[in-house]
Amino acid sequence: MAEVLLDLQGVSLAFGGLRALEGVSFQVPGGIIKAVIGPNGAGKTTLFHLITGFLTPQQGRIFFRGEEIQGKPPHVIASRGIARTFQLVELFDHMTVLENVMVGRHRLSRAGLLASALRLPWTRREETEIMQKAWGALEFVGLADWARQPAAVLPLGLKRLLEIARALASEPELLLLDEPASGLDVHETERLGEMILALKDQGLTIILVEHDMSLTMEVAQEIAVLNYGKLIAEGPPRAIQRHPEVIAAYLGSDWQ
């Protein structure tokens, strides 16, 4: 098995009296797709917020490529090579689809205030490169035709694809997808699945939070199951499907 890319060790977080995550430990080897599933409120999105620096764990440590990253601000973690999408899509609504993806290149380009204001020659070359890579990402998700439209006008399904394109433009090593299939129709979901697998084939490591079980089972090599903030099971999809605690957790609660 490939070396461990992301390593969570005993991560805990409570909001007031509510324990959102309790001693969660798991590892994500490089180059695989790992799914995190669990009923609503199990702590999946909280987990993403912790990995990407939007929240800080009260206990436990998170290692990315062997370096501790817990508690670091989001932009620092992003610059290390972790990109994400958001459960409630967070696009730059007043910018065009293409510009949204161009922001994804932020961490890989360097024009600062003065260089930008003076439009130094090298920044033009950088802009050209940003533009090309952004087009590439748009074409990959199939949104090139929408490039000049404001992001706000896209239907929800395409908005989710745009978020993925934007994250990909930052050339991450680890991509966190938070319910990418919600709001997508069957056809779109199928395409999404193919896309995720294609990304994995390119060597990208992906963590997927998803309620669509058929998609999850199809693409994931490993699944971690959270319930009430605790990791209750971990393993390959087949084992998870038969895991008694997982079955109990799902049947015993109203998940959609």
Partner 1 sequence: MLTGLLNRWLLLALTCLAALVTIDNDYYLSLLNFIGIHTLLVVGLNLLMGYAGQISLGHAAFYGLGAYTSGILTTTYGVNPWLALLLGLAVGSLTAFVIGIPALKLRGYYLAMATLGFGIIVYIVLNEAQSWTGGPSGLSGIPSFSLAGLALDTPRRLFALIWLMVGLILALSANLVDSRLGRALRALHDSENAAASLGVNTGRLKLIIFVWSALYAALAGSLYAHTLNFIAPGSFGFMFSIKLVTMVVVGGMASIWGSLLGAAVLTILPELLVVFHDLEVVIFGAILMVVMIFMPRGLVRGILDIWEQQKRWRQGRLSTGGRSAS
* Six-digit token string for 239: 């084992």
Using the minimum distance from each CB to partner 1, give the nearer residue, 110 or 238. 110
* Among the residue ranges 32-40, 93-101, 185-193, 209-217, the one whose residues contact partner 1 (CB under 8 A): 93-101
Q: Calculate the alpha carbon distances from 158 to 76, 184, 197 in Å.
A: 28, 9, 18
State the nearest-atom distance from the C-beta of 140 to partner 1, in Å.
Answer: 15
Q: How far is the CB of 116 from partner 1 (least distance, A)?
A: 4
> Do the beta carbons of residue 152 and residue 94 sit within 8 Å?
yes
Contact range with partner 1 by CB under 8 A, out of 67-75, 201-209, 215-223, 244-252? 67-75
Give the nearest distance from C-beta 47 to partner 1 in angstroms.
15
DSSP code, position 150: B
Q: Quick one: which of 11, 33, 62, 91 contacts partner 1 (CB under 8 A)?
A: 91
Q: CA gyration radius for the chain?
A: 19
Q: Which two tokens stand for residue 120?
A: 């130094």
Tokens 């008694």: give the residue.
Answer: 244
> What CA–CA distance (Å, rounded) separates 234 from 25?
10
* 103 touches partner 1 by CB under 8 A: yes
Residue 250 CB, shortest distance to partner 1, in Å, is 30
Burial class (CB in 10 A: 0-12, 13-18, 19+), 6: buried
Shortest Å distance, C-beta 77 to partner 1: 9
Dihedral angle at the C-alpha atoms of 108, 114, 118, 119, nearest 10 degrees? 0
Smallest distance, partner 1 to C-beta of residue 232, A: 28
| 171 near partner 1, rule: CB under 8 A | no
Which residue, 113 or 251, is less far from partner 1 as judged by CB? 113
Instruction: Determine, following the binding rule CB under 8 A, whether residue 157 of this chain makes contact with partner 1.
Output: no
**Contact flag: residue 94 with partner 1 (CB under 8 A):** yes
Nearer to partner 1, 33 or 151 (CB): 151
Residue 105 lies near partner 1 (rule: CB under 8 A): yes
Helix axes 121-141, 97-104, angle to 10 degrees: 110
- The CA–CA distances, whole Å, from 189 to 30, 192, 197, 253, 254 equal 24, 5, 12, 25, 23
- In the complex, the smallest distance separating the C-beta of residue 205 from partner 1, rounded to whole angstroms, is 17
- Listed as own residue / partner, the contacts of 234-242 with beta carbons closer than 8 Å and 24 or more positions apart are 234/26, 237/35, 240/37, 241/217
Among 3, 93, 194, 245, binds partner 1 (CB under 8 A): 93
Contact between 67 and partner 1 by CB under 8 A: the answer reads: no
Residues near partner 1 (CB under 8 A):
52-54, 73-75, 78-79, 83-84, 86, 90-95, 99-100, 102-107, 109-113, 116-119, 123, 126-127, 130-131, 135, 144-149, 166-167, 170
